[in-house]
Amino acid sequence: MTERVVLAYSGGLDTSVAIPYLAERTGAEVIAVAVDVGQGGEDMTVIRQRALDCGAVESEVVDARDEFAADYCLPAIRANALYMDRYPLVSALSRPLIVKHLVAAARAHGGTIVSHGCTGKGNDQVRFEVGLAALAPDLKVVAPARDFAWTRDKAIAYAEEKGLPIDVSAKSPYSIDQNLWGRAVETGFLEDIWNAPVEDLYAYTEDPASERDPDDVVITFDDGVPVAIDGETVTPYQAIRELNRRAGAHGVGRLDMVEDRLVGIKSREVYEAPGALALITAHQELEAVTVERDLARFKRGVDQRWGELVYDGLWFSPLKRSLDAFIHDAQRHVSGEVRLRLHGGRAVVTGRRSEASLYDFGLATYDTGDTFDQSLAKGFVRLWGLPSTMAAQRDARMGGA
């Protein structure tokens, strides 16, 4: 019986060339699976047909936009997920979803091999293969760009030799990955980290220096989930799309950073994530109002570790699953509204309110109406500092030893 390879298919040069190449190299039939996670660009029906024209025996397109928003982006909002305190996991969030659908396709079509277009230098090879090992350890993996030293010039020559129906004449100076949650740009002149980004590499955001009036937006959350924008009920997918549009119009969400890849190298990346950063900014502020101090302090460490696990390709790990349970419980009172002002590349919180608020005006005010009993503070301060006082006295007694 002929083996079948399930290929994560993007419709671009590398994965299109991989279809006949994998068939030749492995003797297997190729099934192309394209997953729509809101990346935009070409019509997905065109991509499906291209895979068939390149020799795939089956070609599937999965509309996973709502699933991506609700099951992958939403947990990132509730975890305030920012790798290295900056990057909102644009590519990392989509990979476990793609893996899930690759496994489903392999089961449906009798596939025994899964293939992807990642190189050996990036994080995505880890995210794909560790995810596959967690969900379907029986499946074999073939990565042409890594396993067969497949380079772009080889891919172009092979496409021309085979007469494949893809345009190989134009080469973008950048490597781009994009989805609903954001857009990642690398390579080309950006590899010199002294070079500043140029305006033409951006697509999700307008120039933040352009003159325009500020945009005030009110985001409503229920248990950490964005459920309305300016009073209009939205799904997670709709919330992200709307804030991509409105925050992107003001240049919100641009990042230029050197990050630590899992494989050990540092990489320069330029990101656009207007909706992601606006939503995380609002969510963090509502947590500041509604989450008790010690829980909030502990959750900040959990959030950081959650982001690292997702970045490192461990979406399906036991630790990630347990952190999800903690985060879910910590969101029980994260309900209310946050007002953001979008302007000049920034999303600035200008208001917050919640029926679950722990902010007490009477305790906080310094004016008439103050209900805080200041007579309690003197004794509290002395007891709080008692260990440090005793240690200082001991050190003085022993000559500072």
For the chain, what are the domain ranges? 4-171, 176-291+333-353, 361-394
72 annotated to a ligand binding site? no
The most confident of 38-52, 102-116, 165-179, by mean pLDDT? 102-116
CB atoms within 10 A of CB 191: 10
65 annotated to a ligand binding site? no
pLDDT band at residue 14 under the 50/70/90 scheme: confident
Catalytic, 260? Answer: no
**pLDDT, tens only, 304-358:** 999 999 999 999 999 999 999 999 999 999 999 999 999 999 999 999 999 999 9
Beta strands in 120-174 (DSSP E): 140-142
Q: How far out from the chain centre does Cα 3 lie?
A: 34
pLDDT of residue 13: 83
237 annotated to a ligand binding site? no
Task: Choose the catalytic residue: 50, 65, 124, 352.
Answer: 124
User: How high is the mean pLDDT of the chain?
Assistant: 94
Say if CB 350 and CB 218 are below 8 A apart: no
Whether 80 has a pLDDT exceeding 80, the answer reads yes
Residues ≥6 apart with Cβ < 8 Å to 318: none
pLDDT of residue 153: 78
pLDDT of residue 234: 98
* φ, ψ of residue 138 in degrees (nearest 5): -80, -20
Whether 187 has a pLDDT exceeding 90, the answer reads no
220 annotated to a ligand binding site? no
163 annotated to a ligand binding site? no
Catalytic, 388? Answer: no
202 annotated to a ligand binding site? no
Whether 398 has a pLDDT exceeding 80, the answer reads yes
> Where is average pLDDT lowest: 68-72, 90-94, 191-195, 364-368?
364-368
HSE-CB of 296 using CA atoms within 13 angstroms: 14
The pairing of strands 4-8 and 29-36 is: parallel
119 annotated to a ligand binding site? yes
Catalytic, 254? Answer: no
123 annotated to a ligand binding site? yes
Task: Choose the catalytic residue: 48, 78, 95, 246.
Answer: 95
The mean per-residue pLDDT over the stretch 232-239 comes to 98
Domains 176-291+333-353 and 361-394 share a fold: no
359-366, Cβ contacts within 8 angstroms, sequence gap of 24 or more: 359/289
pLDDT of residue 254: 98
Catalytic, 14? Answer: yes
365 annotated to a ligand binding site? no
Q: Indicate the fold that domain 176-291+333-353 takes in CATH.
A: Argininosuccinate synthetase, chain A, domain 2 (3.90.1260)
21 annotated to a ligand binding site? no
pLDDT of residue 42: 78
Residues ≥6 apart with Cβ < 8 Å to 44: 34, 36, 61, 63
Query: CATH assignment of 361-394?
Result: 1.20.5.470
322 annotated to a ligand binding site? no
195 annotated to a ligand binding site? no
Architecture of domain 4-171: 3-Layer(aba) Sandwich (3.40)
**pLDDT, tens only, 192-217:** 999 999 999 999 999 999 999 999 99
Say if CB 185 and CB 269 are below 8 A apart: yes
**pLDDT, tens only, 139-184:** 999 998 888 877 777 888 888 888 888 765 555 667 889 999 999 9
Place of tokens 């990392």: 92
**pLDDT, tens only, 360-396:** 999 998 998 899 999 999 999 999 999 999 999 999 9
